[in-house]
Structure 1
Amino acid sequence: LLRYEIPSCGCYAREMSSIRMCENILSHFKSNRNKSWYFKKHGKIINCRSGYEVIYANHLILNNIEFEYEPEIFKLKNAKRYTPDFYLVKEDKYIEIKGIPYDVIDVNDQKHSVELFRNNHKLDIYYWEDLWGMCNLPYKSYGNYKVRADRIGISIEDYLGKLLYLTY
């Protein structure tokens, strides 16, 4: 670096890689119509990363709560970005949906990202137990919905979106 033989110590490359990966992943999930997890809002199909998010999105729609799904990517520090699942417009609050607590599974040290994000933003985390209670779902096990969807030959997301909630 001091002799100008190399342009960077490597931090610039890590930063650029982080930006590209976030943009690629988000664009893939938002545009891939073959993705099995989705909800319908105002007649538009919005792809999600999990069935848990489908349930929560439909809960918000059913209760006329204005929201945005994955509204933006936040830079927390160099080479560290975070995309919250939902933004509740009127509450000015972000929501993260997790099926399993970070203590059990923490892919890519997401718990640390959440802690950094919470320094400047309001964020609630909901797990399956929370979703089951707040959405008044009839079955506690997510697998029960899959079995029922398979029996009638539709995807679990269609089952959740069309049979449990009114989507528009």
Structure 2
Amino acid sequence: MKTLTLLRHAKSGWDDPVARDFDRPLNAKGRKAAEVVGRHLKGLELGFDHIVASPARRVVETIAEVAAGYGAAIDPAWDKRLYLASAVTLLDVARETPRDADRLLMIGHNPGLEDFVLMLMAGGDPTLVAAAEAKYPTATVAELTFAVDHWADVAAAAGTLTRFIRPRDLDPALGPGEE
């Protein structure tokens, strides 16, 4: 059994005058949401054998805030392929995960992460599936399990969605339109 957890970076600051999208930082709401998600992951006692993340600034800052909430360092392998990656690229990266890792965390961007979840899902709790199909908000965590022994065998329409955690589910003030 392999477990794939996907985390979309937290809300970034579109009004920040940066020259490149890659350098866009989190805004205050994003920092708060990431920390809240980190505390929730700690409460669930989730751990990861392997972590891969986009090196974009908003992902780096998301990881720092999640780690603050979690109470432990998160030390990913930085992979430029995750920056604005397609679902197919994300699948390629997941399939490269070391065989001895059972729990993989990937941290990146939309629309790739949302497309990736939709591509991998074969089912799960109908409420979670409906939420994932509707929208993959910033700082949201999706978890899928696969009945495989090797990451190389992870395939489309083979995963069961076991968690879909949006920041607004943890703190209503982190919902849409709230600042």
Q: Whose RCO is larger (CA < 8 A, sep 6+)? A: 2
Larger Rg: 1
TM-score by length of 1: 0.29
